[in-house]
Amino acid sequence: MSPVDPVTSPAQHVPIARPFFGEEEERAVVEVLRSGWVTQGPVVARFEEVVAERVGAAHAVAVTSATTALQATLVALGIGPGDEVVCPSYTYIATPNSIVNAGATPVFADLDAETWSVDPAAVEAAITPRTAAIMPVHMGYAADSAALHDIARRHGLAVVEDAAPALGAHTADDFGNRAVGDSEGAVVFSFHPRKIVTCGEGGVITTPDGRVAEQLRLLRHHHMSVSDVARHRAGGLVFESYEDVGHNWRMTDLQAAVGVAQMGKLDRILAERADIARRYDEVFLGHPHLRRRRLLPGSSDAHQAYSVEVLAGAPLSRDDLMAALQRAGIATRRGVMSSHLEPAYVQRFGRLALPHTERVSGNTLMLPVFAGMRADEVDHVRASVLSALAGPRG
C-alpha cells in the first residue's frame, strides 16, 4: 500500500492501481540474474509463447512497450508517409503518437454514444483514398471487431488493434466469441504497471501472419539477420548481417520473467477485477447521476478500469467528485482523454468536433480497480461516491 502521511492524509488511502506481485516474480527475476542472460533471450521467447497460447494467436512478438509495438506493426505492414490511419480520439495519446512516429497521419473518428468504443459508421465515413489501416482501441472492453474488420475487408485496409488494456477480454465477430488477440489482423497488448498484468514496461504484438511476425522480430533488433539466441546456440561461427535499418525495441529477459509469472496469475487477476466491478455495479448501475458504457453483445470486459460518467444535473461535476474522493483518500483519474483536443494534435489538425468523444471524456472518471484490493477499500470507494453524490445536507 502507498505510504500515508498521518498528519495530512486521510486514515484510509486507496490508490488507483497496485501491481499484484509476489514470490513468483521475485524467484523468476533471480533465476534470470543468475543465468547471466538478461537481455532479449530465451525467457522473452517463453513469454511470447505464453501470451500467444493464452489468446489463441499463431505468433507473438515482444518489444519495449505497446507504443513501440503499434509503431513497429505499422512499419512492418509498410504503412508510413502519405498514409492515413483511422483511430478513435478516445484513447491514451500513445495511439495517435504511434501513427505519427511511423510517419503516417492519424484521422480521428468519434465514439458510439452508448458503447464508448469507436463508432464503425464514423470510421467508414473517415476513409479516404489515402487510408491504409484502421486502428481500433479495446478499452478493457472490446470494440466492435466484427463491424470494423468487415469495413477493412471491403476497403482493402489493414487492421491494427490497440488492445493495450484488454488482455483477457473477449470480442464477438464473424467467427464467434474470441479472445482479444485472436484476430485476422495484428493486436497489441501493454504490460505497463497499470495494465491487467505487468512486466514493468513492455508490449506484445499477436498476429496470424508469420511474415509480419518475422519482420517485427527483425525491426526490434536492428534488422539483424540472426538472433543472439540462435547465434549462441549454433555451436560455431555465425556472422550476422543487417539488410535494412531497424531499431532497438528489445524486451529484456528480466521483464519477460516477471511477465511469465504474471501470466500464471491471469485468471485470478481477472476474477478479482470482475468481482470489484460487480460490487461497484451493485450501487452505481441505475444511479440517477451516473452512467456506464454498454457492452456489445457477446463481448466481455477485462476491467482494466472502472469508468463512470457523471450526468448533467448531478449535484456536483466530474471534477468536483474527483476532488471529494481525493479528500476521502481515494485516488481517481479523469476519463480517457480526447486526444484530438491535446495541443500536439490541435496544432496539427486544428480544432476538430467529436461530440460523443468530448462528452464522455469530459464527464467520466476512473475508480480504483486492482487485484488484491480489499473489501473494505471497495466499500470505502462505494460509500464515498454515494455520499458525495447525495449533495449537501441541510
Q: Please, what's the b/e burial string for 54-87 (b: 16 or more CB within 10 A of its CB; e: otherwise)?
A: bbebebbbbbbbbbbbbbbbbbbbebeeebbbbb
Distance CA 6, CA 390 (A): 28
What are the C-alpha distances in Å from 297 to residues 137, 143, 167, 173, 182? 17, 11, 18, 10, 18
Query: Residue 87 is placed in which grid cell?
Result: 483511430
Asked if 181 and 173 touch (Cβ cutoff 8 Å), the reply is no
Distance CA 337, CA 356 (A): 12
Query: Residue 117 is placed in which grid cell?
Result: 468504443
359: buried, middle or exposed (CB in 10 Å: 19+, 13-18, 0-12)? middle
**86: which strand partners?**
107, 134
Tell me if residue 195 is catalytic: yes
131-134/203-207 β-pairing: unpaired
Residue position matching grid coordinates 457523471: 310
Closest CA to 52 of 204, 193, 163: 204
Q: What is the 8-class DSSP label of residue 251? A: P
Asked if 168 and 140 touch (Cβ cutoff 8 Å), the reply is no
Find the catalytic residue in 178, 195, 291, 340.
195
Closest CA to 304 of 378, 197, 205, 202: 197
Catalytic positions are 195
